[in-house]
Structure 1
């Protein structure tokens, strides 16, 4: 610290705090929320911590100061974190006759409460699906709507909310030979599944929607909430998600087929929840995506909370985020797979 001016000492103190927090976040995949809730909440801020540490690194580099080593070493130790935030490679795209496309989309009830100034969201989403033609489509926050019909697909739905009759649905161009659900306790969230027949193979596809904190992430709305109230909401959500994932994995363990897990986790790729759910599977974005992979339409923040995980024996030959499709608060994602 010798030779630093007072404002640089202040900068280095802030740098140290950001570096320590990022270092602590490396433990997130291994520590369950039920054991250390405060640490698990940190998962939401990891993208910001990575960006802040990169900015500090650039700051000290431009000033030619050895303080750059702090963020450099911390970022180096977590290089997999840094590169999971932004994929610098171009999207993988392998053409193969055995390819099939799995799409995930949280449609936010087809704009039931007029969040968007668009009265034709359901029909616009139908047109989008008709154009992209996914072979399997997993939808969260689904509600039956007269303007959304896919007659060329087999369908399995589970509407869990007794009042609104909303839930999850899976559409498949391949025949569905079995279907069911994993009903989470004390919540309208759940996971559903279909066993589909593709040629001589049977594949299980899960559509999972984990508990939401129901916090409006826009800055203007966050400022209205007390920090204690926000923390309590997130804490309760993560504990509920942990129980939901345990219940889901117990169900999945009984499956003898190759599996694809698609859904809205309401959590990030830096969390214990993500780590447990992914297991040995392949994150399709990590394998074939590029850029930030942002799936939630939040200003100035690259939040990726929607995922497609493929069994290790399934090839991921492509991945796409439809970030121009602004018909919900989520963006649809699509993985090109081959058994």
Structure 2
């Protein structure tokens, strides 16, 4: 520090705080929101903390200062967190006749309240789906709409609400032999499932939509709400998500079939609910085969990935892609998987 000028000393002070915060964030996926909702809220800032520490590293590298070791060591300790934010390797693309193409898409009610100026959202989403031709489609914030014409699919939907009935839907090109819903108390969010038959395999597909944070992606979260109230509200949401994840996992544990999980978790890959749902027996398709940031939510401040496709050990993940299609506040994701 003796050889640093006053400005560099200030930069290193900020660097120390943010590097320490990132280091502490590595334990967040193991802290139940019920125990400390405030601490769990910090999981939302992990992408920001990683990016800022990379910038500090670059700053000290250009200055040829040993202070670069602080952020470098912290980033290396959390290398798995880095992999969840950004995949440096090329995306995996394995073409196989036995691939099953799975799409997850939060369609935001097909723009029924005109959040986007585009008046042809439903038709464009339909055209996008037909072009990509997935075998399975998992939709959140779905509503019945006569313009959504997917005649080649079997469908299961669970809707609620008064003004606009909405909920979750699963479309499948494979016959559906069983279906059901896992109800979450005191909310319109839920998880649904279908059992489909594909060749000699029966596969259970889950569509999980956890409690929403209700943060507008296009505005500053603090603009109309104090930071104290925001933390309190988000903390309460995380407690609900924990309860919903527990209900889902109880149902999943009884599944007799191979399992694919799709959904909008309304939380990041650094959260308790992600860590709990993924566990040790599931594979995150983005981590297995994606590249880049993989952001799935159109948040203007930093890349956020809250939509997921996971598979159990019965599957090989052969590809994953996020599509920069601005027809919702979420981006569609598609993975191709193969039964081993």
TM-score (norm 1): 0.97
Please say if residues 160 and 189 of structure 1, whose CA atoms lie closer than 8 Å, have aligned partners that are also in contact.
no
Q: Which residue is 2:29 aligned to?
A: 29
* 1:294 matched to 2:295: yes
Residues in 1 aligned to 2:164 and 2:217: alpha-carbon distance in whole angstroms: 24
Deviation larger for 157-166 or 96-105:
157-166
Q: Which residue is 2:140 aligned to?
A: 140
Residues in 2 aligned to 1:195 and 1:315: alpha-carbon distance in whole angstroms: 19
Matches within 5 A, 1:136-285: 136-220=136-220, 222-279=222-279, 280-285=281-286
Residues in 1 aligned to 2:76 and 2:197: alpha-carbon distance in whole angstroms: 45
Residues in 1 aligned to 2:61 and 2:289: alpha-carbon distance in whole angstroms: 32
The root-mean-square deviation of aligned C-alpha atoms, in Å, is: 1.1
Q: Which residue is 2:129 aligned to?
A: 129
Residues in 1 aligned to 2:63 and 2:90: alpha-carbon distance in whole angstroms: 33
TM-aligned CA deviation for residue 151 of structure 1: 1.3
Q: Which residue is 1:4 aligned to?
A: 4
Task: Note the alpha carbon deviations across 1:169-192, whole angstroms, 9 max, x for none.
Answer: 000000000000001010000000
Residues in 1 aligned to 2:236 and 2:2: alpha-carbon distance in whole angstroms: 45
Please say if residues 33 and 238 of structure 1, whose CA atoms lie closer than 8 Å, have aligned partners that are also in contact.
yes
Q: Which residue is 1:79 aligned to?
A: 79
Matches within 5 A, 1:57-76: 57-76=57-76
Please say if residues 137 and 172 of structure 1, whose CA atoms lie closer than 8 Å, have aligned partners that are also in contact.
yes
Q: In the comparison of the two structures, how many residue pairs are matched?
A: 338
Q: Which residue is 1:329 aligned to?
A: 329
TM-aligned CA deviation for residue 218 of structure 1: 3.3
Task: Note the alpha carbon deviations across 1:11-62, whole angstroms, 9 max, x for none.
Answer: 1110011011100110011111111222211111111101111111111122
Residues in 2 aligned to 1:278 and 1:46: alpha-carbon distance in whole angstroms: 18
Q: Which residue is 1:303 aligned to?
A: 304
TM-score (norm 2): 0.97
TM-aligned CA deviation for residue 3 of structure 1: 2.4
Please say if residues 322 and 331 of structure 1, whose CA atoms lie closer than 8 Å, have aligned partners that are also in contact.
yes
Structure 1 spans left out of the alignment, 5+ residues: none
Residues in 2 aligned to 1:67 and 1:27: alpha-carbon distance in whole angstroms: 24
Please say if residues 217 and 298 of structure 2, whose CA atoms lie closer than 8 Å, have aligned partners that are also in contact.
no
Q: Which residue is 2:51 aligned to?
A: 51
TM-aligned CA deviation for residue 221 of structure 1: 5.1
